[in-house]
Amino acid sequence: MENAKPIYRRLLIKLSGEAMHVEGSSTIYDQTRLTATAEALRRIHASGTQLVVVVGAGNIWRGGRNSGFAMQNRSRGDGMGMLATVINALAVVDALEQAGVPAVAMSTVDVSPLAAHYSRDGAKAALEAGQVVVLGSGLGIPFVSTDTTAIVRGAELDCEVVLIAKNIDGIYDSDPRTNPNAKKLDTLTYEQIIDGKLKAIDLTAAQLGLEQKVKFIAFDLRDPANIDRVLAGEKIGTTVTPAN
């Protein structure tokens, strides 16, 4: 892949917090998984593609729903989640640097000097300079998910595709964890997600993706090599586009 002409000039990948640890583990990070993810990102960067990474925080915090700590105030809980994504952004930057990839952490919420303050122009300048841009703190507001952040930043930074890495191999017509007959969908439109209220991405993200005509692919990152397969054009995961 490193010697092939890149398919995309610029892409965004959203990493869930679960991409950084093993489900059921008592540790926040799994070094093997984090290193493998950084190596997969290194290969994208080495191909010549400019890369934006949005990180979630499910390995650390799930807002007011974190086990054993029921938050009374949803905004406060979401604020804690934003800070958790900054922690993950710093971890991803460190893993990338260990892999020999120049990277910068940016945050919408001001956490200087830990991370640079996010701006569209600043992020684009870093990308043009050859750095991977790793975004923490979401959009800096409560009540929206990092899926929404990925769609917004993907559109704002002129990314050709948004890759949303999940801990499942795509989008299903119902929850495969509760329905053994759930069917995986290879392609979808945003209209189908919205009309069917599918649990693919949150509906705010779907509506924004529809309006901004953002193509995204949902796939399983439990095998980091799936990033290579997606970029090679293999039909894995689920591709979501606006209706023709």
Q: What is the mean pLDDT of residues 166-192?
A: 88
| Residue pLDDT, tens place only, 187-224 | 999 999 999 888 778 889 999 999 999 999 999 877 87
All domains of the chain in start order, with CATH: 10-241 (3.40.1160.10)
- Euclidean distance between CA atoms 200 and 178, whole angstroms: 15
Per-residue model confidence (pLDDT) at position 104:
98
Per-residue model confidence (pLDDT) at position 59:
83
Q: Which of 25-29, 115-119, 148-152, 189-193 has the lowest mean pLDDT?
A: 25-29
- How does 3-12 read in b/e, with b if 16+ C-beta sit within 10 Å? eeebebebbb
Per-residue model confidence (pLDDT) at position 208:
94
- Euclidean distance between CA atoms 215 and 218, whole angstroms: 10
| Residue pLDDT, tens place only, 38-77 | 999 999 999 999 999 999 988 887 655 555 667 788 898 8
Residue closest to 16 by CA, chosen among 45, 47, 59 = 59
Per-residue model confidence (pLDDT) at position 223:
80
| Statement: residue 2 has pLDDT above 70 | no
Backbone dihedral angles phi then psi of residue 205, each to the nearest 5 degrees = -65, -40
Cβ(13)–Cβ(161) under 8 Å?
Answer: no
How many C-beta atoms lie closer than 10 Å to residue 196's C-beta? 12
What is the percent of the chain with per-residue pLDDT over 70, rounded to a whole number? 93
Q: Let me know how many helices (H) and strands (E) the chain has, helices first.
A: 7, 11
In Å, how far from its chain's centre is CA 47? Answer: 20
pLDDT band at 1 (very low <50, low <70, confident <90, very high): very low
Per-residue model confidence (pLDDT) at position 63:
56
CA distances from 178 to 149, 173, 199, 238 (A): 28, 12, 13, 20
